[in-house]
Structure 1
Amino acid sequence: MGIIASVLVALAGLLHVYIFVLESVRWRAPATWRIFGLTSQEDADTTAPLAYNQGFYNLFLAIGAVLGAVLLFVSPFGTTVHTVGFTLALFSAASMLLAALVLLSTGISRLRSAAIQGTLPLLGVAFLLLSLL
């Protein structure tokens, strides 16, 4: 279960790196702002500072998730490093999952985005908790 959890949390982290790139690096590109439902370059320019900030939140969660998954994967069960990896992976994945739920709370039209953002973290959290049994 621990290996599956590590892979799922690492994949969630990589997805959030991609979201970071979209929000903080490529936001003003028409192909990117259309993904997020914006309809004009003016809207993209107006919201760029918010997206830039949000992108970095996603990057920081991604770093925590990937680092936690790596520590969890490479350390023997019962060691301090394993415990740190588990805690970091669980915190990061749970934060991603909760952020997806917050996104969904803004309206049912965000269901697809919330599902994309939250499915891997949900599975990661589930398998992390199952690995405790």
Structure 2
Amino acid sequence: MVILITIAATLSAAMHVLIFYWESLAWTRPAVWKRFGLASADDAETTRVLAYNQGFYNLFLAIGALIGSIIYGLGSTEAGFALGLFAVACMFAAAVVLVTSGKGRVRAALVQGFFPLVTIVLYLVSWMVER
């Protein structure tokens, strides 16, 4: 189960590292701001600082998911479980919020939230088996 959790957490983290890259490093590139539904380069420039900050949230959650799954896999199950589950639960919650933010966000929310949800389920199954 630890291997599955690590794989799912790594995929969750990879997606959020990619989102970090888009939001914090490549936000003003047309392919990126168009992907996020902005209408112009001026809109991208106006929202650049907000996207930069939001991208780092994604990066920090990715780091939490990875470190949590590694700690969990190394045998510190309580600490790893808590950190890893918290990080992927935040990722999934953000995907739910994305769905509520406007029309046309369901696909993006599915991309953002699928692997975190899988990781949550695996963590919870592992926890129930251990009990």
TM-score, normalised relative to structure 1:
0.92
Q: Work out whether residues 69 and 85 of structure 1, in 8 Å CA contact, stay in contact via their aligned partners in 2.
A: yes
Runs of 4+ in 1 over 4 A off after TM superposition: none
Cα distance in 2 for residues equivalent to 1:86 and 1:3: 14
Cα distance in 2 for residues equivalent to 1:4 and 1:20: 24
Deviation at 1:85, TM superposition (A): 1.1
- Matched to 2:71, the amino acid is L
Name the Cα RMSD after superposition. Answer: 1.0
Deviations 1:49-88 (A, max 9, x none): 1101100110110110011111122x23xxxx22211111
- Helix, strand or coil for the counterpart of 1:109? coil
Query: Which position in structure 2 is the counterpart of 1:46?
Result: 46
Structure 1: state its 5+ residue gaps: none
Higher RCO (CA-CA < 8 Å; seq separation 6+):
1
Structure 2: state its 5+ residue gaps: none
Cα distance in 2 for residues equivalent to 1:105 and 1:66: 27
Deviations 1:5-48 (A, max 9, x none): 12101210111011001000000011111111112100100110
TM-score, normalised relative to structure 2:
0.93
Query: Which position in structure 2 is the counterpart of 1:86?
Result: 81
How many residue pairs match? The answer is: 128
Deviation at 1:2, TM superposition (A): 2.5
